[in-house]
Chains A and B, each alone.
Chain A
Amino acid sequence: MSTGYLPLVIFAAGGMLFALVVLATNWLFRPRHGGREKERTYECGLDTEGQTWIQFKIGYYLYALVFVVFDVETVFLFPWALTFKASGMVSFAEMAIFIAVLAMGIWYAWRKGAFEWN
């Protein structure tokens, strides 16, 4: 049944080629009316004030940190779920403990106010 990784590679390469062909077609037909005014960053009609590439709000990074914890948990959960029907009560209890530990993590982050958007 399994087709292996070859189609995945072909789809990735082909998809990229498709996008590039579309862009190339556009490049062939599009008008070119350049100009300094047109190429300014879009805002309210005035020049932008200050840098855009700054150190960004910490709140976003907190989500990223919590996300990493749970994403790793997902990777552990999938193989467990796959063999769940065949495995006994012990593995179920073990995973329940594992999930409980992570639930404590989410509870801690909750209490610390990591999910409040200020």
Chain B
Amino acid sequence: MQTLNDLFLIVSGLLRGAMGSWGFAPGLTDAIMALVSFVAIAALVTVNIIVILWVDRRFAAFFQERLGPNRVGPFGLLQSINDAVKLIGKESIMPAAVDKRVYKFAPVLIFTVTIVLYGFLPYGKGLAPIDMGAGLLFFVAVSSTSTIAILMAGWGSNNKYSLLGGMRTVAQVISYEIPLAFSMIGVVMLSGSMNLGSISAAQHTLWNIILQPIAFFVFIVASLAELTRSPFDMTEAEQELIAGYHTEYSGMRFALFFMAEYANLFSVAALGATLFLGGWEGPLLPGYLWFIGKTWAMVLVILWLRWSFPRARVDKMMKFNWKVLIPLSIANILLTGVGIKLYQYFSTVGR
């Protein structure tokens, strides 16, 4: 069992040992190992996108009492692969009026951010490809970079729908970033670390969701807005804005935006699972399976919310953020502080 749990660590140890015996410099070994983990993560991202797309469509069909894709392969499992191959052969129309460099760079940037975010996640004990002391802060910082890509797409398209969609997204994402970061502060206070692996390890006996229910609620709502997913998807509201910032994108450039959106769904769910559901902590099964399982539970909740709520109105959404979520998350920080100090006080008095 232990061998299965440490499978990836053992493989990486063997590789490192082999490279050491060939006389590679330690720096070179580190670089090659980072490259190996990058290839593994890139494969994971690709598989994830394909699976999430299929699950999303089947899940949506299930909610609406229809069948969903069921023709290509068993249960329609190969439908997403079929779509991906089809997209490779699609024409990419670039309108004459766009700002070419900005327009072309935006999808590349947003996809890069997505891949880097996957690198921060702790897939198991010691299994974070980018393992940093301030990993949580880096995750938030890198994820907010995608705002710039969306603004570039909206502005560079030189289309009024795109501009409106891009502006709405930026206003929404930066507003909801504040409660998102505030909800993490309670977790950092409890675990005394910003390293995602240590945060998981700190939840060995008790998951943070029990100690931080308010923060978990704020996190879920704010991350839905960060992902610009329903009920907060007014940035690409089909009825008003056609598709928002990617109105003018077609072919593979559009596909990059689309894939980044679905891939981010997984990484944000994984962050939620790490912060509040104990990450890879769990009995019997290997850590990475617990991690994937908890993340998928979060993903399914997010997909479920999409079909349960109508789209919010843009003014109400902004009001809700500034007048409800931010005061709530600030109160949660103070409440957590008082709670920890009381606990410390009574545990010293009791002795």
Contact = CB atoms under 8 A, between A and B. Distances in A.
Contact of A31 (B91, B96, B112, B170): B91
Given A3-B130, A26-B92, A67 B174 contact: yes
A76 to B, nearest CB: 11
Q: Mostly helix, strand, loop or mixed at chain A's interface?
A: helix
Interface of A: 1-8, 10-12, 14-16, 18-20, 22-23, 25-27, 29-33, 36, 38-43, 48, 52-53, 56-57, 59-60, 63-64, 66-67, 70-71, 74, 77-78, 81-86, 89, 92, 95-96, 99, 103, 106, 109-110, 115-117
A39 B130 CA distance: 42
12 contacts: A1-B195, A10-B31, A25-B252, A26-B88, A29-B88, A40-B95, A42-B247, A42-B248, A53-B158, A84-B192, A84-B340, A103-B327
Interface stretch (B65-73, B223-231, B275-283, B311-319): B311-319
B225 to A, nearest CB: 13
Contacts of A23: 107-108, 252-253, 256
B115 interface: yes
Interface size class of B (residues with CB under 8 A): 35 or more
Interface of B: 30-31, 34-35, 37-38, 41-42, 87-97, 107-108, 111-116, 119, 126, 128-134, 137-138, 155, 158-161, 163, 167, 170-171, 174-175, 177-178, 181-182, 185-186, 188-189, 192-195, 197, 242, 247-248, 251-253, 255-256, 314-315, 318-319, 322-323, 326-327, 330, 333-334, 337, 340-341, 344
Given A48-B160, A52-B159, A19 B35 contact: no
